[in-house]
Amino acid sequence: MADRVQEILSYYSSDNAGTKTNIARLLRSGKLAGTGKLVILPVDQGFEHGPARSFAPNPPGYNPHYHFQLAIDAGCNAYAAPLGFLEAGVSQYAGQIPLILKLNNHDVLHDDKDPMPSVTGSVKDALRLGCSAVGFTIYPGSTHCNAMYEQLRAIAEEAKDNGLAVVVWSYPRGSALSKEGETAMDVVAYAAQIAAQLGAHIIKVKLPTAHLEQAAAKKVYESIDIPIKTLAERVKHVVQSAFDGRRIVIFSGGAKSEDKNVFEEARAIRDGGGFGSIIGRNSFQRPKAEAVKFLQTIMGIYAGEVQ
C-alpha cells in the first residue's frame, strides 16, 4: 500500500518536498491510510447554502467542533471548511487530522446564473492554521470563469511555494449551460481537465450523467464510441481526462440521498478508478453514530472490505 502512495507522489514531480509531504499526509491519514483512496469531510455548506438548510436536520452541526470530531471519529483523510469554521476549532484539534482551508465561497442570497465566489481566506491563513492544503472553487461555464482561473493560478503558485497542496472544486455552472449540462459527461470531463491544467493536485467534481451537452463533443463521443453507459465507465473517463489518472480525482456526494444510492455510487467510483469521495451533507446531516457508520461503510467499499 505504501508503494501506491509513492506511485501517486511520482505524478507530482515538479512539486517541492513540502507539497509532496502534505499530499502524502492526506493519503496516509485516517482509515484509508496508504491505500491511495480518500474520503474527505467538507463543511462549507453553512456559507454556500445557509445555516438552517445545512445544520437544522442535525442541530449539533451548528457547532464547528462537531465536524472536527466527526471527521476524526470516522477516520476521514481530511476535513475541509472555510476560515471561520477552522478558526473556531483548530486549537482544540491541532494535529489530529489534516485540514483543508476553503479559500473562496459563494452564497445563495441572490439568484446568480453566472456565479463568482468571493475570496474569503488566504494562503497565509492556511499556514497559520496548520493546514495541509488549500481549496478553491471554479465554475467553468460561468461568464466570470476567466477571473476565477486567474485567481486560482495566483493562489496555486503561492500555495505551492509554501509547500501546500491545492484542491480544486471544479463545478460547471453558468448561463451557457443547461441544468442537465452541469453534470453532462463531456462537461464534467472538461471541468476535470481545466482544473488539472490550472495546477490542481486534487480535483473534486460531481458524478457525471450520460448526457452530452456540447454538440461538437457529442460527435466525437459517438463517432469513437467512448464507453459512458455505466457510472463506472463515466468515472473512468473523468479520471482519464485528468491527465490519464495522474491527478487525484474525487467525487462529491451532493444532496442527502438514500444510503444504498450513495454506496452504489462509491462502488462505481471504485470500479472506475476514482480516488474517492468528498461527502458533506450525506454525512453530517444525521446523528453522529449513524454518520460514522455511514462514512466507514464507504471507506470499506474503497478498501475492498465491503462489496
Catalytic residues, by residue number, are 204
CA dihedral sign of residues 48, 275, 152, 19: positive
Helix and strand numbers (H, E) in the chain are 14, 10
Residues 188, 156 contacting (CB under 8 angstroms): no
Q: Rounded to 5 degrees, what are φ and ψ at 19?
A: -65, -45
- The strand pairing partners of 278, in sequence order, are 40, 252
Residues 163, 126 contacting (CB under 8 angstroms): no
| Cβ atoms within 10 Å, residue 141 | 21
Q: Rounded to 5 degrees, what are φ and ψ at 126?
A: -60, -40
CA distances to 63, 70, 125, 151, 273 from 292, in Å: 17, 7, 29, 36, 24
Q: Rounded to 5 degrees, what are φ and ψ at 79?
A: -125, 130
Taking the C-alpha atoms of residue 101 and residue 87, their distance in angstroms, rounded to an integer, is 10
Residues 105, 138 contacting (CB under 8 angstroms): no
